[in-house]
Amino acid sequence: MSSLDPAIADRLKRDPQGFVTAVIQQHDTGEVLMVGWMDDEALHRTLTTGRGTFWSRSRQEYWVKGETSGHRQHVKEVRLDCDGDTLLVKVDQEGPACHTGARTCFDDGLLSDA
């Protein structure tokens, strides 16, 4: 059972596993840093602690960005998209956001079908 405000919970459109996609963006530059998964509890923890908290689908547990690496995310604001199925989390990122050590998870080059 989550402590997420019911008014917020009612607005979420979750996937069949109960998750919404969370796009993490640097608050002052607009740089997209990473994507994570949040359920009601992860969103509640993010909103109440001010730290990016996600559900790890591989480890089947909650994790707080930077808890072990020191590369913390300080949440500045959280927005819900018009469909209710994606969150935009604006953060102040300390150090790299990607587990590879890159600033962003989207540094692996452009895709092209040409």
Domains in the chain: how many in total? 1
**Structural domain contains residue 15:** yes
Which CATH number do you get for residue 60?
A: 3.10.20.810
C-alpha–C-alpha distance, residues 107 and 90, integer Å: 19
**Structural domain contains residue 111:** no
**Structural domain contains residue 102:** no
**Structural domain contains residue 98:** no
**Alpha helix segments (H runs only) across 1-114:** 6-9, 40-49
Q: Which residues contact 2 (CB under 8 A, 6 or more apart)?
A: 9, 39, 40, 41, 44
Q: Which residues of the chain have pLDDT under 70?
A: 1, 114
Q: Give the structural domain span for 29.
A: 6-93
| 96-113 pLDDT tens trace | 999 899 999 998 778 887
**Structural domain contains residue 63:** yes
Place of tokens 């989550």: 2
Q: For position 14, what pLDDT does the model report?
A: 97
Q: For position 114, what pLDDT does the model report?
A: 66
**Structural domain contains residue 105:** no
Query: pTM of the predicted model, to two decimals?
Result: 0.92
